[in-house]
Amino acid sequence: MASGLFKWAKQHIEPGLDPELLQRLESVPKKNLNAFGVDQFGFDPEVLKITFPIAAWIYKNYFRCDVFGIDKAPEGRKLVISNHSGQLPFDGMMIFTAFILDALHPCFLRGMVERWVSELPFVSSFYARIGQIVGEPSICQKLLEANESVLVFPEGVKGISKLFQDRYQLAQFGHGFMRLALQTKTPIVPVAVIGAEEQAPAIANIVPLAKLMNTPAWPLIFPQLVPIPMPVKYRIYFGDPMLFKGDGSEDDSIVGGYVEQVRHRIQTMLNKGRRKRKSIFY
């Protein structure tokens, strides 16, 4: 069924793609594809080609994304570290889209998704086909060593499911991304996303229902009944790259200090971005 749907989409959607968009997608480096045109993690550039226009439309017309400083991001491998919010990962989709549409040189960004997502039928295979990966350090290390770029949300589930009263207050960051950056000598690009915190305001987390449904959280969204995002305006700020010295074997106190530097940088960018905007919708 999925194969038939793909063939239909390739036949009917691909010919109508905007030539400039198609050129940008074609210019994204494609590495280590096997005889079937898929890499070892399941990424299929042809699937990305026929699905990316949806992300591009959302980026341009629904969230109307404004991007600042994306040219600060270096070419080659990098760890893109961002705040996380909004109940559903549209923030990740928009950062991913920005690197293809608005970067000087289109860049394919691998997003690290939560492990529980890999258990979801259809969703897990679709994520793999568009190049997203399960949040395993060993997989991330392989990608960085292959000179690829990876998007990480160190707040994890605590970030995406935070309550409205905690908006733009960063949760604690995990340390894993920093050890990977040190081990692979990879620069960190800090990112602040303004807008996603208001797209699906959660006023409570229904813990018993989350346990019943085996999900990390079950937000009570107001005024929506389901976390369909409101058409807020996104503003995505990219900061100067940060490169730290070490090999990843440092004490937790040292690594934790580096992590706090990144967290503080992003929190500062969030605070400045919020002060600059006049409305969440324009």
DSSP assignments along 97-129, one per residue:
HHHHHTSSS---EEEEEPGGGGGSTTHHHHHHH
Q: Which domain holds residue 249?
A: 2-198+233-276
* Average pLDDT for 131-150: 90
| Residue of 238, 255, 257, 236 lying closest to 246 (CA atoms) | 255
* Better-scored residue on pLDDT, 65 or 113: 65
Residue pair 193/83 in contact by the 8 Å Cβ criterion: yes
Query: How many CB atoms are closer than 10 A to CB 182?
Result: 20
* Better-scored residue on pLDDT, 87 or 57: 57
| Residue of 205, 194, 217 lying closest to 165 (CA atoms) | 205
Q: The CATH number of the domain where 138 resides is what?
A: 3.40.1130
Domain-located, residue 204: no
Domain-located, residue 129: yes
210 φ, ψ (degrees, to nearest 5): -60, -40
Residue 211's pLDDT is 74
* Better-scored residue on pLDDT, 14 or 267: 267
Residue 261's pLDDT is 98
Residue 1's pLDDT is 47
Residue 181's pLDDT is 98
How large a percentage of the chain has pLDDT more than 70?
A: 88
- The band of 25, judged by pLDDT with boundaries at 50, 70 and 90, is confident
What is the distance, to the nearest Å, from the Cα of residue 78 to the centroid of all Cα atoms in its chain? Answer: 13
127, pLDDT greater than 90: no
Residue 8's pLDDT is 64
Residues in the chain: 282
| Residue of 208, 241, 189, 221 lying closest to 79 (CA atoms) | 189
What is the tens place of the pLDDT at every residue in 174-222? 999 999 999 999 999 999 999 999 998 888 877 787 677 667 676 777 7
Cα–Cα distance measured from residue 51 to residue 100, given in angstroms and rounded to the nearest whole number:
13
Residue 3's pLDDT is 57
| Residue of 53, 56, 48, 59 lying closest to 126 (CA atoms) | 48
Could you tell me the two tokens for 110? 């691998």
DSSP assignments along 209-250, one per residue:
HHHHHT-S--EEESS-SS-PPP-PPPEEEE---B---S-S-S
124, pLDDT greater than 80: no
Domain-located, residue 205: no
Residue 17's pLDDT is 74
What is the distance, to the nearest Å, from the Cα of residue 95 to the centroid of all Cα atoms in its chain? Answer: 6
Cα–Cα distance measured from residue 280 to residue 282, given in angstroms and rounded to the nearest whole number:
6
Total structural domains within the chain: 1
The pTM assigned to this predicted structure is: 0.88
Average per-residue pLDDT in the chain?
88
- The band of 224, judged by pLDDT with boundaries at 50, 70 and 90, is low
Residue 166's pLDDT is 87
Residue 59's pLDDT is 97
Domain-located, residue 191: yes
| Residue of 258, 197, 189, 251 lying closest to 227 (CA atoms) | 197
Residue 225's pLDDT is 62
Residue 269's pLDDT is 98
Cα–Cα distance measured from residue 48 to residue 239, given in angstroms and rounded to the nearest whole number:
27
